[in-house]
Structure 1
């Protein structure tokens, strides 16, 4: 991971303890996302077999975000005040435990409860992982290292759905859940090897701020967060629809395609773009790449809505993967730009609060429309939501319309970026 030439040579410039930390963290992330995504193509059919209802699939899958919504802010503050590593360990422990719970129950109510519990893993792991990566990274290489370290998502999504689909067909759900649990606990033990760095600026600030619950919620409506959180809310609705209904949509189309291949193809596209966009965004700014990611999402959802063949579905997967592989790391980098060390966890958690809320609503809200508009109609709606997100970002991402358009097209810097050097011990 750290040797050789080419695009990964940035790792050779890091001190050996930083290299070891990032290696252990990368393996933990890989296992986390592999465990989680094994269930993407397999859990919706499992839920429908248990409930007998497409509508309840949306509710159970959407309940995943309940854990996100309830715990994202709490865990963001815990990461700032106490320990990023402890929050990562919590996430990996839950992602390993939840599949065992699915294996033991067939009640829709209990499946929804355990799905909500499973959602806490995302709230914990993504907050702790992203803030740890930023803490370890030199400021001038922040975007590049975030891009590389975020590769755990597409690699995990390439492995997880393919392995999950194969296990479900060849060995059944019980084996699937056991393997998913094993991957999660492997991630836990890898995370335990990470040595958490400490920023002196962060420690001094945390010692002074005391209770900041009111400030925490006020931040959501502030200039730094309002537009990114709105964009992520809309994209959460899109992803909630995709995660809940894509496997059922593919089955309804009667095309010869395992839904797991959509996620694998998406992950490969995501991997490819993440190798490039992090470093490029350090040079050209985050706005241009966020805009491009939203255009890719709009196109992907439109293709899905009109798909008639496996080739079209996989083409949509390529664009969706490119969009996701750009949007998520750029959102993380944008929030890192707009935050100081002592508030990084809560800033990140608040920005992703919109995404979590969108996922929570996407499955049940848009799923309730499926009887009226069908699965195709749901993906047309998803394309419209992505287009609205692009319009918001183009017009509201900076201090006024002109500067927003310039920032969103890479012609202007971010006026809300915080540029304060931090000493790390």
Structure 2
């Protein structure tokens, strides 16, 4: 069996953990910071939207450049500019400047995160891709659980100054760790033009979009829903993150052994069940049961869909394939939060989570009818990257 836990894989996974912690520390604290400097809820929405929209626009361009010029230079420059953006938050005094910084920060995030997620696919052995992506995704999962918690603690007990400086330190540590990783790279054979989208992964991207559409509703509205039924929303996210972290490596191994289809279909069905359970919850038992189910379903489906993406794409098109998947993820989260918010305003949380379940049904429908056929017709490309560093 090919070796997974190499020095490079450990360094890039640890660096990702630090980077994503810095990123998620801003999730619950930035809206509070905006209010402190005189902003309104509208300004909060604009700042979040500016970041997401910039990231969506930049990712496809970055993906094509990664396949042409390699990963390392984009990781280095992306992280250096990401660190600069984090440092600049400490000097912001007005809303207009903040929104401009959010645009710049979104660009740095799109470059660095796309380059890192592509680089790790070059390091993971093809025969252990599902397991490797499961473990790598766990570093992001842990950051989702602890990043917001750390951010709130820093703001409550110290200051925003301490928050931004600590985020700079974590981002710098991420850069130092990832610099120690050896990243193989095989240049793109066709250098006539830079592709912005990988057509072979379009069906997977659509399936991922619908799955993350529901995820956007979960992350945005579960805290409000939990408060309405007098339950601590932190319990939901803690149980969700713990289940997610446990399920991802196991589902990755199953994906390598039995194929992505054997994991994704039941995982999406469990995700649908979790959202239906959530829509009927009236207390802590239902909320925590849905958190467990959602952690198992979502946690198993996501790395398997990533693995399917890499199996469908050509080896020299990994960068644009990863960018296509990340764009679908960003769009799903952003549009899900906005559209489901509008639905909840006129119907309520129960209907919101039922609509979320229907979007995962659409994800399952697209996968079962289109993606499964593509995976059957294309058993996978053979990866044989050159040893030259990218």
Q: Partner of 2:137 in structure 1?
A: 150
Using the size of structure 2 for normalisation, the TM-score is: 0.86
Relative distance call for 1:43 and 1:382 in structure 2 (3 A) is farther
Q: Partner of 1:135 in structure 2?
A: 122
Relative distance call for 1:112 and 1:298 in structure 2 (3 A) is farther
For 1:333, which of 307, 313, 317 is the aligned residue?
307
Q: Partner of 2:230 in structure 1?
A: 255
Q: Deviations over 1:249-274 (max 9, x none)?
A: 444x16252x4443333221111011
Q: Partner of 1:75 in structure 2?
A: 62
Q: Deviations over 1:226-260 (max 9, x none)?
A: 32111122123222223333334444x16252x44
Relative distance call for 1:322 and 1:192 in structure 2 (3 A) is same
For 1:278 and 1:286, the matched residues in 2 are separated by 9
Equivalences for residues 244-283 of structure 1 within 5 A: 244-251=220-227, 253=228, 255-257=230-232, 259-283=233-257
Shift of 1:207: 4.8
Q: Deviations over 1:360-383 (max 9, x none)?
A: 322333333443224444333222
Q: Partner of 1:410 in structure 2?
A: none
Q: Are 1:233 and 2:215 matched, yes or no?
A: no
Q: CA RMSD in A?
A: 2.9
Q: Are 1:291 and 2:265 matched, yes or no?
A: yes
Shift of 1:358: 1.9
Equivalences for residues 168-247 of structure 1 within 5 A: 168-198=155-185, 202-203=186-187, 206-213=188-195, 216-217=196-197, 219-220=198-199, 224-247=200-223
Q: Partner of 1:418 in structure 2?
A: 380
For 1:109 and 1:260, the matched residues in 2 are separated by 32
For 1:317, which of 291, 316, 323 is the aligned residue?
291
Using the size of structure 1 for normalisation, the TM-score is: 0.80
- The answer as to whether partners of 2:68 and 2:191 remain within 8 angstroms in 1 is no
For structure 2, list consecutive stretches of 5 or more residues without a partner in the other structure: none
Give the match's secondary structure for 1:209: coil
Shift of 1:423: 4.8
Q: Deviations over 1:374-424 (max 9, x none)?
A: 44443332222122212222222234xxxx8xxxxxxxx632243335153
Relative distance call for 1:207 and 1:394 in structure 2 (3 A) is closer
Shift of 1:336: 1.4
For 2:322, which of 348, 370, 373 is the aligned residue?
348
For structure 1, list consecutive stretches of 5 or more residues without a partner in the other structure: 1-9, 405-412
For 2:234 and 2:118, the matched residues in 1 are separated by 30
Shift of 1:343: 0.8
Q: Are 1:33 and 2:20 matched, yes or no?
A: yes
Q: Partner of 2:371 in structure 1?
A: 397
